[in-house]
């Protein structure tokens, strides 16, 4: 284990938008969904959504022949699909990853204001300086980073394959420079024993889950299983019955025998959890602690920007749509694709 003094790249409350979508009545929702479905067909576009976005958007993606999944599978689906126009409902790095893997396709998002705190907290210039100061290390970055940061890396990983890849690198005698999520980095470090130098970023959602409050909640629900995403603090991870990516959490909820689950990840996932497990109960893990001054309150405000209204505007207003197209400079995309392909090839061979 290595340590270095880094500036704190976690986001303050002032850096996190206060976004509250307008609640639609049933009639408005159905009108919008029908109109969006027709416009997707007219545009020849496929809608690809993340598990954390609005449930109506997830349902619409599946109803129109699109896809709902985690970030990497979203990009891979877009790459495989015959559509030349992809509409990605998620946060900006997801749209960029889709564009990197499918540079010949047009990729839109409902809004390019949908950022990611991990991406924001790993500025390319600062990261380039950090990597240059530690050239003896293999650079491994989490998928929740910009195309520019990916282009500076040797490997890109997701939460579903990070342990395997870092274990492989450790067995090859490599020392690792990791970015940007410090909690996920510490979890991987603890699980693998790898020599890892960690960036100091954190997700505004997962960083706020609190171990003591979770202990108190378990007193109320003593038979509940705890499902935790590894971007959470170590003390919360230590209390988990299952730790893993969004896909792994969904799988664990189906496989574990408990009927009640306390879930430490973005509450957007509850839509899919409840769909797949109608007889089970899902409860948000507690955030914020004293005074409840949370930055996210268990839901990413940028994910919340992916709503029916913004999707309808994207498909209705050609000027707005032009402003929502994902652009990745060709040379950056080509460099960023190398570590992405390396990850995909590793997964295929293992």
Whether residue 170 is found in the same domain as residue 216: no
Residue 232 lies inside a defined structural domain of this protein? yes
Whether residue 165 is found in the same domain as residue 246: no
pLDDT in tens, 108-120: 999 999 999 999 9
Alpha-carbon gap, residue 21 to 55, rounded angstroms:
13
312-324 core/surface letters (b: 16 or more CB in 10 A; e: else): bebbeeeeebeeb
* CA of residue 282 relative to chain centroid, distance: 20
Whether residue 215 is found in the same domain as residue 141: no
Which two structure tokens, joined as six digits, stand for 303? 């994910």
Number of domains in the chain: 3
Whether residue 109 is found in the same domain as residue 25: yes
Whether residue 111 is found in the same domain as residue 23: yes
What pLDDT sits at residue 18?
A: 72
Indicate which CATH number applies to the domain containing 130.
Answer: 3.40.50.10800
Whether residue 88 is found in the same domain as residue 169: no
Whether residue 193 is found in the same domain as residue 340: yes
Residue 1 lies inside a defined structural domain of this protein? no
What pLDDT sits at residue 1?
A: 45
What pLDDT sits at residue 143?
A: 96
Q: Which domain holds residue 214?
A: 206-292
Whether residue 50 is found in the same domain as residue 109: yes
What pLDDT sits at residue 6?
A: 65
Residue 9 lies inside a defined structural domain of this protein? no
Residue 7 lies inside a defined structural domain of this protein? no
Residue 288 lies inside a defined structural domain of this protein? yes
Residue 71 lies inside a defined structural domain of this protein? yes
Whether residue 84 is found in the same domain as residue 227: no
Whether residue 22 is found in the same domain as residue 106: yes
- Going by DSSP bridges, is the β-strand pair 281-284/260-264 parallel, antiparallel, or unpaired? parallel
Pick out the chain residues at pLDDT < 50: 1, 3
Whether residue 199 is found in the same domain as residue 341: yes
What pLDDT sits at residue 56?
A: 96
| Phi–psi pair at 7, nearest 5 degrees | -60, 155
Residue 4 lies inside a defined structural domain of this protein? no
200-227 core/surface letters (b: 16 or more CB in 10 A; e: else): bbbbbbbbbbbbebbeebeeeeeebbbb
Residue 196 lies inside a defined structural domain of this protein? yes
Whether residue 187 is found in the same domain as residue 218: no
Instruction: Name 65's Cβ contacts closer than 8 Å, sequence gap at least 6.
Output: 46
CB atoms near residue 129 (< 10 Å): 10
């Amino acid at each position: 284990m290595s340590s270095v003094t880094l500036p704190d790249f976690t986001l303050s409350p002032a850096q996190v938008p206060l976004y509250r979508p307008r609640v639609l009545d049933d009639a408005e929702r159905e009108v919008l969904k029908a109109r969006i479905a027709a416009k997707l067909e007219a545009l020849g576009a496929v809608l690809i959504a993340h598990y954390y976005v609005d449930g109506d958007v997830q349902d619409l993606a599946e109803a129109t022949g699109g896809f709902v999944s985690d970030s990497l599978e979203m990009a891979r689906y877009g790459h495989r699909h015959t559509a030349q126009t992809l509409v990605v409902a998620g946060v900006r790095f997801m749209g960029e990853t889709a564009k990197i893997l499918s540079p010949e396709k047009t990729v839109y998002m409902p809004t390019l204001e949908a950022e990611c705190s991990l991406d924001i907290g790993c500025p390319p210039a600062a990261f380039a300086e950090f990597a240059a100061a530690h050239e003896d290390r293999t650079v491994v970055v989490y998928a929740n980073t910009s195309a520019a940061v990916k282009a500076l890396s040797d490997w890109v990983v997701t939460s579903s394959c990070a342990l395997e890849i870092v274990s492989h690198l450790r067995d090859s005698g490599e020392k690792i420079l990791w970015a940007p999520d410090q909690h996920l980095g510490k979890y991987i470090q603890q699980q693998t024993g790898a020599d890892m130098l960690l960036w100091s970023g954190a997700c505004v959602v997962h960083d706020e889950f609190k171990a003591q409050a979770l202990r108190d909640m378990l007193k109320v629900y003593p038979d509940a299983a705890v499902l935790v995403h590894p971007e959470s603090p170590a003390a919360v991870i230590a209390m988990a019955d299952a730790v893993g990516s969004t896909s792994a959490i969904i799988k664990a909820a189906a496989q574990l025998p408990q009927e009640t689950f306390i879930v430490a990840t973005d509450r957007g996932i509850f839509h899919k959890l409840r769909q797949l497990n109608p007889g089970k109960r899902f409860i948000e893990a507690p955030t914020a602690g004293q005074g409840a001054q949370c930055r996210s309150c268990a839901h990413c405000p940028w994910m919340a920007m992916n709503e029916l209204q913004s999707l309808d505007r994207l498909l209705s207003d050609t000027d707005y749509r032009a402003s929502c197209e994902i652009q990745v400079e060709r040379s950056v995309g080509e460099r960023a694709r190398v570590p992405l392909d390396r990850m995909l090839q590793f997964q295929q061979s293992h």
